[in-house]
Amino acid sequence: MNPRAPDAEEISVVLLGSLNPGIFHPEWFRRQEILSSQESDEAKIKLVSPEVTEVLFLDMKLDVFPDRLVLETTDSSRAEKLQDVILNILTRLPHTPITACGLNDVIQFDLEDEEYWHRVGHTLAPKELIWNELLEKPGMALLSVKGILSGKFSGEINVNVAPAKRYIHGLLVGSNFHYPVPRNESGTPQSGRVVDYVQEMWKPALEKARGVAYQIFEKIKK
Amino acid sequence: MSEIATTTTAPIREVKSSFSERPTTVQSTPDFQFLAANGDLTLVEVKSVNTTMVTKRKPLRVPRPLMYEEASRLGFILLQKWEGVVLESDQETFTAKLTDSHGKLRAHDATFARSELPKNEQELIEPGAPFVWTLGYRKIGSTRERASVVYFRRLPGWTEKEITIAEQRASDLSDSIGWK
């Protein structure tokens, strides 16, 4: 295992479906015993409305739109907290139709080495075959690779590799574990499966996300 | 914010936003309004151009929503994560079994001071309670400091259905053993 720890990490969960942004007020979280009174009082409300909600609590940011909920944190020590909040939301709203769920982990590394930084880009996106003849100083701006998520939860894994803009020679590896919720015979999404997905795939997804980054370092030596 | 709603990828935002103190003037009927925690009233007009009703409302001075600030500027460099279960506790401490989250290191027991946790979380300490112990560096601006974070899980309780299923499975297992 590569000992290199990420220099920044952003973990998020995205739910797609039919949502009611107006209910996601810190007071609702308190009444549902998802947040304590103190945590609810300390929450920062940017906006709570039927159309859009944006609330900050527990070092997380919650955005809710009628078709989309995003809960994210830039503090990886809060990962399980975030998972618990999502599970609690889902179990408190069992009749909310959820059509897809994404577990996302964006990891950034400061490579601090221009030569190695270019080598990673040139190895992942070779320039010799096509680009050198067409462009001056071609560089990899974004590499997207899609894979299949098989097993109990069928879906897809989308990996993006790009320069991390917050560092001069940074590398960003973003992984999206996308799970389209199966529908029953009447076409209704089986939203209850999302709870199982978040419970069972959380740890494997985060480990896989890191595994992608470590594989890059393993295969492309400094 | 304009991302297509068929992906579950969180957008990587370069631009953040926050409320500006700068007021703006609204002279027509708002489509909806909201009251911020600090008492600021913001009006949002989406389809006021379709309004044919004459408004008698006087112009209001309200904050103009601009860019939002980052959710958290505190980053965390994760070095090690342990999954723990409380074995026993007393007034001052609790002892737990710790398992390496990545399965690389051996499990072991450890004793923590209750004061590692905020007051409101100490009531969660009881035998069997699961928690996560994260070690790493917390980044504050350009500096970093060692950090140890203990978080007690707040998982949803078992539902009646889940309990019934578990009882049935236990019963089936017991019957399958064929005690003599």
Whether residue B158 lies within 8 A of chain A, CB to CB, comes out as no
Among the residue ranges A59-68, A128-137, A203-212, B75-84, the one predicted with the least confidence is B75-84
Q: Is residue A196 part of a domain?
A: yes
The verdict on a CB contact (< 8 Å) between B6 and A16 is yes
The verdict on a CB contact (< 8 Å) between B72 and A60 is yes
What CATH number is given to the structural domain containing B100?
A: 2.40.50
Mean pLDDT of chain A: 93
Radius of gyration of chain A (CA): 20
Mean pLDDT of A89-106: 95
The verdict on a CB contact (< 8 Å) between B136 and A12 is no
Instruction: Report the pLDDT value the prediction gives residue A42, as an integer from 0 to 100.
Output: 93
Taking the CA of residue B180 and the nearest CA in chain A, the distance in Å comes to 37
E-strand ranges in chain A read: 8-17, 44-48, 53-57, 60-65, 68-73, 98-110, 143-149, 155-164, 170-180
- List the domain range (segments joined by +) for residue B144: 74-152
Identify the segments of chain B with pLDDT beneath 70: 1-6, 11-74, 180
Q: Is residue B124 part of a domain?
A: yes
Q: Is residue B172 part of a domain?
A: no
Q: Is residue B178 part of a domain?
A: no
Residues B39 and B90 grouped into a single domain: no
Among the residue ranges A20-29, A132-141, B103-112, the one predicted with the least confidence is B103-112
Residues B127 and B147 grouped into a single domain: yes
pTM of the model: 0.78
Return the higher-pLDDT residue of A159 and B19. A159
Dihedral over alpha carbons B14, B19, B24, B26 (to 10 degrees): 100
- List the domain range (segments joined by +) for residue A128: 8-17+89-219
Residues B78 and B49 grouped into a single domain: no
**Other Cβ atoms closer than 10 A to A125:** 16
Instruction: Report the pLDDT value the prediction gives residue B142, as an integer from 0 to 100.
Output: 74
Mean pLDDT of A187-207: 94
Residues B120 and B84 grouped into a single domain: yes
Q: Is residue B92 part of a domain?
A: yes
The total of structural domains in chain A comes to 1
Label residue A15 exposed, middle or buried (CB < 10 Å: 0-12, 13-18, 19+).
buried
Instruction: Report the pLDDT value the prediction gives residue B93, as an integer from 0 to 100.
Output: 94
Residues B92 and B111 grouped into a single domain: yes
Tokens 């078992």 appear where?
Answer: B158
Whether residue A51 lies within 8 A of chain B, CB to CB, comes out as yes
Residue from B1, B2, B8, B143 to probe the interface with A (highest A Cβ count within 10 Å) = B8
Among the residue ranges A140-149, A211-220, B4-13, the one predicted with the least confidence is B4-13
Amino acid at B64: R
The verdict on a CB contact (< 8 Å) between B44 and A100 is no
pLDDT in tens, A114-123: 999 999 999 9
Tokens 């159309």 appear where?
Answer: A51
Instruction: Report the pLDDT value the prediction gives residue B180, as an integer from 0 to 100.
Output: 65
**Among B51, B68, B85, which residue terminates a domain?**
B68
Instruction: Report the pLDDT value the prediction gives residue B105, as an integer from 0 to 100.
Output: 87
Q: Is residue B54 part of a domain?
A: yes
Q: Is residue A76 part of a domain?
A: no
Chain B residue numbers with beta carbons less than 8 Å from the beta carbon of A101 are 8
Nearest by CB to residue A8, choosing from B65, B75, B102, is: B75
Instruction: Determine the 3-state secondary structure of A135 from DSSP.
Output: coil
Q: Is residue B42 part of a domain?
A: yes
Q: Is residue A194 part of a domain?
A: yes
Residues B44 and B107 grouped into a single domain: no
Q: Is residue B174 part of a domain?
A: no
In the sheet with B130-140, reading across from the earlier edge strand, the strands are B108-113, B93-100, B74-89, B130-140, B143-152
**Other Cβ atoms closer than 10 A to A22:** 17
Q: Is residue A169 part of a domain?
A: yes
Q: Is residue A210 part of a domain?
A: yes
Quick check: A129 pLDDT over 50? yes
Nearest by CB to residue B8, choosing from A39, A102, A172, is: A102
The whole-angstrom separation of Cα A6 and Cα B8 is: 23
Whether residue A16 lies within 8 A of chain B, CB to CB, comes out as yes
Q: Is residue B2 part of a domain?
A: no
The whole-angstrom separation of Cα B131 and Cα B137 is: 19
Whether residue A141 lies within 8 A of chain B, CB to CB, comes out as no
The total of structural domains in chain B comes to 2
Whether residue A34 lies within 8 A of chain B, CB to CB, comes out as yes
Whether residue B124 lies within 8 A of chain A, CB to CB, comes out as no
Residues B109 and B137 grouped into a single domain: yes
